[in-house]
Amino acid sequence: MRSSFTVLFILANIAGNCATPAGSGAASTPQSTNVPVPITFNTNPSGLFVSVDGSPQFATPFTTYWDPNTAHTFTTPTMQPGPGGTRYVFSSWSNGVITPTQSGVTAQFPETFTANFNSQYLLTLTPLPSGAGTFATNPSSVSGYFNPGTQVSITAIPEPGYQFAGFNVPGAGLTNPVTVTLNGPMTVTANFTGSGLPLGFFPVTPCRLVDTRGLNGKSGAFGPPGLAAGVSRNFSLISDGCGLPGSAQAFSLNLTVVPSKPVPYLSVWPTGQPYPGVSTLNSTDASTIANAALVPSGGGSITVLSGGNTDLIVDTNGYFASPNGSELEFFPVVPCRVADTRRSQPFGGPFGPPSLAANEQREFPLPSSTCNVPVAARAYSLNLTAVPEGPLPYLSTWAAGQPYPGVSTLNSNDGTVIANAAIVPAGNAGGSITVMAGGNTDLIIDINGYFAPPTGGYHFYAVIPCRVADTRSSQAFAGSFGPPSLVASVQRDFPIANSNCGIPSTAQAYSLNLTVVPQGPLSFLSVWPAGQPFPNVSTLNSPKGTTLANAAIVPAGTNGAITVLAGSPTDLIIDINGYFAP
């Protein structure tokens, strides 16, 4: 091709002294006005393309011949592809011209024109699995190409139902965003976990799944022996008789430990996943203690690991599965106090005194409270706090109109103030719930949302349990999610959507587990959506100053943040196991 091009120019000049390409530059031997001048075109790097006088593009280097008395035009494409994720961007010609096209060029002597190009490298961003997330880069690039040496900050953004699980960049871990330097073509993969499926809630009559004490007829996989310290145990919840189907993608549970010695932690996560480094509850003084949890399903099973020897009781009140028309959606509300039986508080009628009497059932008609709970609600997201007069072996809640289901919601064997979260189905008559205590106690009921038939509410998206924040100075959290400890009576915001747990900005409420590590007695800890005033509710209490956890569904506030207020100095640990979104 190049030799033919050269021959054509030579023949044209001999036959009719036709015009040929032009140029300028240093010359060697003067040419006769009738002798064609050799003009060489090159590129840096070599092998790229140039066109002369409208001819097809030829790969460089090549030589043509110009009549010294004629003007010529030559051009090179501004961007040209290179090998494997490299492209070349025109910068200048060797004669100093910075436009890719030169016109009216003549040459009296042999000349070489070289087009200089700069390299750019392609940054390929891949979500795994496909469709599980998107990316943002700083600086941005529509084409995905960057100049050599550019430092690019990459943010992985999970789609609803997925959770960011790390980049393939060495040493990055769960850091998001991550910064890379482009010294060649690069592919960065962001891993995501989750199903991407929106889940609806299906309440069930509260039912006991597991009791390792050997009580309540539990045996085999659901009975003794108790948990041994440091040894994980799987429980296939869909194999018990509580009606949890194989389609369940997450379970609404209440877990109670009955230890003989301190239990520094108890963790629960979906079977088949590695230990996520989070805790569900703590009993550092060997107290019988309960905590609620929404736990993703691992093939219908959960895994439990205890830091100390303990018996374990697991109750359920519902599950989350793909919508089928009969599911319930979640409707968050600003946390609101429904009832308080203490005589010192301004509640009356069915929501005020007297205290609960031991072993006597009492109904609370939640839709009749001042918290604007609709009669359409079929289940409530509550926080129940017992203020016992003495030892309280149990407190149980269930749907009014149903018989006592033989489960417990919380326990306070030493008579201290204790709180626990619960999703409680509504009774058929007026949406009431029934409460029964094993000892005399006052009761405080707060609400943060309810479940109702689909009418524009939110679905649940389960995530692998993940630690959002830890204010202890001994842990590797910083900025908004690390030290210092909470100061008494000083509010602090935690922007959950900006954490390393990959929670999307579309989340409207979070399923959290909050653990306090107080410096002394902690009268209360309250949590609510950022940007709202203090709602005068509490999430947990630790009057003995012990490490204590409680679950909470917390509506998202301004910029996806939540606000926390503690009555005394304390460290705070926040774990997340899911969120609610459209």
What pLDDT does residue 33 have? 56
Closest CA to 443 of 363, 370, 334, 368: 363
Are the C-beta atoms of 106 and 74 separated by less than 8 Å? no
Asked whether residue 507 carries a pLDDT value surpassing 50, the answer given is yes
Closest CA to 202 of 397, 50, 423: 423
**CA 539 to CA 535: how far, in whole Å?**
11
- 140 burial type by CB count under 10 A (0-12 exposed, 13-18 middle, 19+ buried): exposed
Closest CA to 435 of 500, 494, 385: 385
Asked whether residue 551 carries a pLDDT value surpassing 90, the answer given is yes
For residue 139, whether the previous peptide bond is cis, meaning omega lies within 30 degrees of 0, is yes
pLDDT band for 273, please (50, 70, 90 cuts).
confident
* CA quadruple 272, 470, 231, 553: dihedral sign: negative
Closest CA to 250 of 295, 304, 196, 205: 295
Average pLDDT of span 469-484 = 94
What pLDDT does residue 264 have? 95
pLDDT band for 429, please (50, 70, 90 cuts).
confident
What pLDDT does residue 23 have? 41
Of 233-237, 269-273, 392-396, 564-568, the least confident: 269-273
Are the C-beta atoms of 448 and 333 separated by less than 8 Å? yes
Residues in the chain, total:
582
Asked whether residue 4 carries a pLDDT value surpassing 60, the answer given is no
pLDDT band for 280, please (50, 70, 90 cuts).
very high
Average pLDDT, the chain: 90
pLDDT band for 73, please (50, 70, 90 cuts).
very high
Residue with tokens 């090159």: 42
**CA 226 to CA 545: how far, in whole Å?**
27
Asked whether residue 501 carries a pLDDT value surpassing 90, the answer given is no
* pLDDT tens digits, one per residue of 46-61: 999 999 999 999 999 9
Tokens of 373: 């709970």
Tokens of 256: 């109670």
* pLDDT tens digits, one per residue of 326-370: 999 999 998 999 999 999 999 999 999 999 999 999 999 999 999
Classify domain 329-452 by CATH architecture: Sandwich (2.60)
Residue with tokens 């000083």: 490
Asked whether residue 517 carries a pLDDT value surpassing 70, the answer given is yes
Asked whether residue 20 carries a pLDDT value surpassing 50, the answer given is no
Alpha helices in 399-487 (DSSP H): none
CA atoms within 13 A on the CB side of 33: 2
Sequence ranges of the domains in the chain = 2-118, 121-193, 208-323, 329-452, 460-582
Write out the E strands in 407-504. Answer: 410-412, 418-425, 433-437, 441-452, 459-470, 492-495
**166 φ, ψ (degrees, to nearest 5):** 120, 155
Tokens of 14: 């001999």
Classify domain 460-582 by CATH architecture: Sandwich (2.60)
Are the C-beta atoms of 35 and 107 separated by less than 8 Å? no
CA atoms within 13 A on the CB side of 123: 27
Of 141-145, 187-191, 384-388, 460-464, the least confident: 460-464
Asked whether residue 3 carries a pLDDT value surpassing 50, the answer given is no
What pLDDT does residue 48 have? 98
Are the C-beta atoms of 449 and 331 separated by less than 8 Å? yes
Are the C-beta atoms of 277 and 250 separated by less than 8 Å? no
* CA quadruple 167, 173, 176, 180: dihedral sign: negative
Average pLDDT of span 2-15 = 35
Tokens of 288: 């019988």
SS3 call for 567? coil
pLDDT band for 175, please (50, 70, 90 cuts).
confident
Establish whether domains 329-452 and 460-582 are of one fold: yes
Asked whether residue 17 carries a pLDDT value surpassing 70, the answer given is no
Average pLDDT of span 377-381 = 96
pLDDT band for 581, please (50, 70, 90 cuts).
very high
Are the C-beta atoms of 172 and 164 separated by less than 8 Å? no
* pLDDT tens digits, one per residue of 76-119: 999 999 999 999 999 999 999 999 999 999 999 999 999 999 99
Domain 208-323 classification at class level: mainly beta
Residue with tokens 């018989």: 403
Asked whether residue 195 carries a pLDDT value surpassing 80, the answer given is no
Of 207-216, 364-373, 479-488, the least confident: 207-216
Share of the chain above pLDDT 90, in %: 80
